[in-house]
Amino acid sequence: MFMFQCLREGPSVRGLVRLCHLASTCTTLAFTTLTLCLWTSGSQAEEAYAIAMHGKPAMPADFTHMPYANPDAPKGGRLTWGLLGTFDSLNPFIVKGLAVQPIRAYVVESLLARGQDEPFTLYGLLARTVETDEARSYVTFHIDPRARFSDGKPVQAEDVLFSWQLLRDHGRPNLRQYYAKVAKADAPDPLTVRFDLAGANDRELPLILGLMPVLPKHAVDVATFEETTLSGPIASGPYRVTAVKPGASVTLTRNPDYWGRDLPVNRGLFNFDEIRLDYYREANGQFEAFKRGLYDFRVENEPLRWHSGYDFPAAMSGEVIRDTFKPGVPQPSEFLVFNTRRPLFADIRVRQALTLLFDFELVNRNYFFSLYSRAAGYFAGSELSAYARPADARERELLKPFAAQIPEDIMDGSYRLPVTDGSGRDRNTLRAALKLLSDAGYDLDGTVLRNRVTKAPFTFEMLVTTRDQERIALAFQRDLKRAGIDPSVRAVDPVQFDQRRLAYEFDMIQNRWDQSLSPGNEQSFYWGSAAADSPGTRNYMGAKDPAVDAMIKALLEARDHTDFVAAVRALDRSLISGFYTIPLFNVSEQWIARWNRIERPSTTALSGYLPETWWSKGEPQASPAK
């Protein structure tokens, strides 16, 4: 059980104030899900400076800055990003178009800000304080009276209500799904917003609403909101859009009148006067631009390049620095994704057979320098992972209605991904795969695998967009040919890849889902049945599984950490049992290369690298924010 902390009654309750420990007049209250502040009677929730999904916030009420930020970082200079792809919209909240995603982090703010050193804790930003009850039947936000949009107009309750209604009715599918759970919303006064959550049975929802983007009612045209636009939004964040070169670059300039620059959650963040986002259409050209110093840092995802590609003069001399971070969140995992909307992949036996045919040992040695490991499931390297872990009594109880579809080896933790001899010619896995394919109605006709009834050859398209994806696809193509399958590999540019992925116009793609230590509503967006037929979600495989839906519901309703972990592991087992993907590898490290003109704090957040904490090295330039 985690302890509640209390705030004194009085004027300080409405700000980001110091916590006090009530002595004999306050009995310690214990709950397991949310740090709140209660009246001594224990019946009425009061305002808090922060809210945590489970347990209590790590930072005290009087914290001055986050531990992963340098509060003395100099202001000034420019940070140039090099992004792969293109864009045709500055609105990241709608399905239509290819949006500039950093707009969300640098231009548009939420009521609360995420603490990056904790699984899921939010601290005051636009909202000074937040309150909810133990049942989470409502949540109330008290807006900081200092909060201003970039045009100088104050942020008020009507803007929050407007944003909620706008995104619920016209936003991306995940936003519509989240905000539709609110039963009622109102504004008791111009700086207070209350959301009634009765019946939602979603204990994460107060935090989801705390992360809701807040847009100005006076500056948004509802009638055209869902259309792409290259006009910079008016918002309350530290930066404004000041220049746009369609499809090529966007410049963000720090707002000299930014209202929140001195908030504890912001000290040491947003240190550059200018953020420039440059787009590149092709991955190799993007890397060559980095070598020439045309942008300041890159996140490296290709082991071959990380291992041997940084031998250019600037990297050898130390002008380019390579950093390796080990975040504390579940390891990002790459998968080959079956589109089960395609009849070819609707049969689970086909998916199981193709999983057997992928030779990870060969690929990892030859392409990845044995830098990767491999695990089934979607929460690798964390306590949330069910892979190679037996289900406890709570998990078995959750999965009892669906026991027939969860194989016992996945339930008892004995299931393992196939391990080959690494030769590319493993006969045991081939034999097992052909047996599964025969059971599914496919037979070898000479060297061609055919449908037993239609005689159509077994073939499909693997869609790729990077060199690394193409290498993996070609290696898998060779593996499949041993079973009489001859898929095509089609390389497209990042723009076309994203368009086809969002519209589910593919047979197989490579994809990565990044997970946190506090998975929640986004899981419905990733694998929920309702998301399978809704364009723009991340349910790329088209999963429609009552067990998956039930486990997502269970994790959202969990009131303590033990039940939460059990629900997530049960979700993991359900997904593993569906064989919706072929696990490729797990990434245990983040590889970041940066030019030495960019400096970073010595402390890394639990979530890993954070460009918003970096600064320009050397003599600080004049800052418009001071």
User: For 388-437, what is each residue's pLDDT tens digit?
Assistant: 999 999 999 999 999 999 999 999 999 999 999 988 889 999 999 999 99
DSSP of 129-181, one letter per residue? EEEE-TT--EEEEEE-TT-B-TTSPBP-HHHHHHHHHHHHHHS-HHHHHHHTT
Sign of CA dihedral 471, 475, 480, 482: positive
**pLDDT above 50 (res 24):** no
Task: Please state, as a whole number, how many other Cβ atoms lie within 10 Å of the Cβ of residue 344.
Answer: 19
pTM: 0.76
State the pLDDT confidence band at 484, using cuts at 50, 70 and 90: very high
List the strands of the sheet with 581-586, edge to edge: 488-491, 461-464, 508-513, 333-338, 581-586
Task: Please state, as a whole number, how many other Cβ atoms lie within 10 Å of the Cβ of residue 152.
Answer: 9
pLDDT at 620: 41
pLDDT at 369: 81
**380 touches 586 (CB < 8 A):** yes
d(CA 435, CA 359): 18
Backbone phi and psi for residue 184, each to the nearest 5 degrees, phi listed first: -160, 150
d(CA 21, CA 433): 63
Q: For each of the domains in the chain, give its residue range(s) and CATH number, in order of start.
A: 2-63+114-224 (3.40.190.10), 71-107+237-326+590-626 (3.40.190.10), 333-586 (3.10.105.10)
Tell me the per-residue pLDDT of 554-593, one tens digit each, with 9 for 90 and over. 999 888 889 999 999 999 999 999 999 999 998 888 999 9
Quick one: which of 348, 241, 422 has its CA closest to 574? 348
Which residue's structure tokens are 């087992």? 573
Tell me the per-residue pLDDT of 360-402, one tens digit each, with 9 for 90 and over. 999 999 888 887 889 999 999 899 999 999 999 999 999 999 9
**287 touches 466 (CB < 8 A):** no
List Cα–Cα distances, 71 to 144, 264, 596, in angstroms: 22, 9, 20
List Cα–Cα distances, 593 to 262, 418, 468, 600, in angstroms: 30, 34, 18, 12
Residues 354-368 as b or e (16 or more Cβ within 10 Å = b): bbbbbbbbbbbeebb
Quick one: which of 391, 338, 349 has its CA closest to 573? 391
Helices 348-357, 427-439: axis angle to 10 degrees equals 170
**pLDDT above 50 (res 253):** yes
Which two tokens mark 120? 């899921």
**291 touches 262 (CB < 8 A):** no
d(CA 131, CA 136): 9
Query: For the chain, how long is the longest CA-to-CA vector?
Result: 84
d(CA 613, CA 599): 9
Strands 45-46 and 50-52, sheet pairing: unpaired
